[in-house]
């Protein structure tokens, strides 16, 4: 019996996280192809390897730095890479075994504890990179445009404290369905759990909160990074400031812009899709009990796009470092990167 065959009116605990999509035809060729175990395994291994490699490079680079601004930036990058790595590790440890074993989720997890944990992980490890990207953009914005608004640059300890606050806030967000606001439910093709796109008041509020927070983080990153890039471009084109060019600032901004572009491409389709689904279903409040099949498949596609964010993030730092760029473009010589943008 599939989850969709369960009677939604029986009031059982199973209805809390099962029955949102119909899997009565478990041998559907389309479902078999889209739920290929090798696809998920390849995604997971590539992402884990990329983040582990980036973490090693980050730790190696941090030991050689004397610039406090650069050191704090590497702390934020390290927090981002660790978040992406742990996100892939936690979710893959549940999703990949399902694709190989095809276990009956309702029998393995009748109390929805595993589903709630996986849903929490999807939200926590999803929001963290977006919030960290906005935090990094804000830190660089004030470092470049308001150099005298702070007595000193952000120390490593303070940077880690900020990363911890982002993790804590994302954790509270992910716990909301467990505390009663919204629900985590099993999603097509039955291998993962996520927030529920159905016209229930709690689900609507949580979906809007998740989507709006993500969109706000992306837009905030865009504003901060745009102003910072414009400021750096003005300095580079100021003939009197040629000797005061700050290559370190430019390197950090190139990496930030890369992270922002990847986050925008990978996340905005999902966030906009969630907004559209929730707002379109408001008139059908309490009537719709199951997502349409096409919407289920679209949600899976958008989630897989989000997975690419965790895979590509580390390569932004790996590839867009001065050590790499100088090999590609030998004319890029290191110059003093002292905080002398404003004499």
Cα 139 to chain centroid distance, Å, stands at 19
Cα(213)–Cα(267) distance, integer angstroms:
12
Cα(47)–Cα(52) distance, integer angstroms:
9
pLDDT for position 317: 82
pLDDT for position 287: 61
Residues of the chain whose pLDDT is less than 50?
1-14, 24-27, 30, 151-152, 239-245, 335-343
262-289 per-position pLDDT tens digit: 999 999 999 999 999 888 877 665 566 6
pLDDT for position 120: 95
Contact in structure between 70 and 248 (CB atoms under 8 Å) = yes
229-243 per-position pLDDT tens digit: 888 887 766 544 444
Contact in structure between 250 and 341 (CB atoms under 8 Å) = no
pLDDT for position 147: 60
pLDDT for position 32: 53
Q: DSSP for 129-149, please give it.
A: HHHHHHHHHHHHHHHHH-TTS
The architecture of the domain spanning 36-327 is Up-down Bundle (1.20)
Residue 194 φ/ψ, nearest 5 degrees = -155, 180
115-148 per-position pLDDT tens digit: 999 999 999 999 999 999 999 999 888 888 766 5
How does 84-102 read in b/e, with b if 16+ C-beta sit within 10 Å?
A: bbbbbbbbbebbbebbeee
């Amino acid at each position: 019996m599939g989850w969709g065959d369960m009677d939604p009116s029986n009031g059982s605990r199973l209805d809390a996280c099962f029955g949102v999509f119909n899997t009565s035809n478990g041998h559907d060729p389309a479902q078999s192809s889209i739920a290929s175990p090798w696809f998920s395994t390849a995604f997971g291994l590539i992402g884990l390897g990329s983040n582990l490699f980036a973490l090693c490079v980050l730790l190696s680079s941090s030991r050689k730095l004397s610039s406090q601004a650069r050191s704090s930036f590497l702390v934020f990058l390290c927090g981002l890479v660790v978040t992406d790595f742990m996100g892939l590790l936690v979710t893959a440890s549940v999703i990949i075994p399902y694709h190989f074993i095809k276990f009956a989720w309702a029998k393995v997890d009748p109390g929805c504890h595993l589903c709630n944990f996986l849903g929490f992980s999807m939200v926590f490890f999803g929001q963290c990179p977006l919030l960290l990207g906005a935090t990094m953009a804000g830190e660089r914005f004030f470092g470049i445009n308001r150099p005298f608004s702070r007595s000193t640059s952000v120390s490593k300890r303070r940077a880690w404290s900020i990363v911890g606050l982002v993790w804590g806030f994302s954790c509270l967000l992910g716990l909301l369905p467990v505390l009663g606001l919204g629900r985590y439910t099993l999603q097509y093709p039955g291998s993962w759990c996520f927030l529920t796109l159905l016209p229930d008041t709690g689900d609507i509020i949580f979906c809007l909160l998740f989507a709006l927070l993500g969109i706000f983080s992306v837009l905030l990153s865009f504003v901060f990074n745009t102003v910072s890039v414009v400021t750096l471009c003005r300095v580079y084109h100021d003939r009197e400031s040629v000797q005061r060019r700050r290559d370190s600032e430019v390197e950090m901004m190139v990496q930030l812009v890369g992270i922002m572009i990847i986050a925008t491409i990978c996340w905005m389709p999902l966030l906009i899709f969630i907004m559209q689904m929730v707002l379109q279903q408001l008139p059908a409040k309490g009537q719709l009990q199951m997502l349409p099949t096409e919407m289920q498949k679209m949600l899976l596609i958008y989630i897989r796009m989000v997975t690419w964010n965790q895979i590509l993030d580390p390569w932004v730092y790996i590839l867009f470092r001065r050590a790499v760029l100088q090999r590609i473009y030998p004319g890029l010589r290191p110059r003093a990167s002292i905080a002398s943008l404003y004499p």
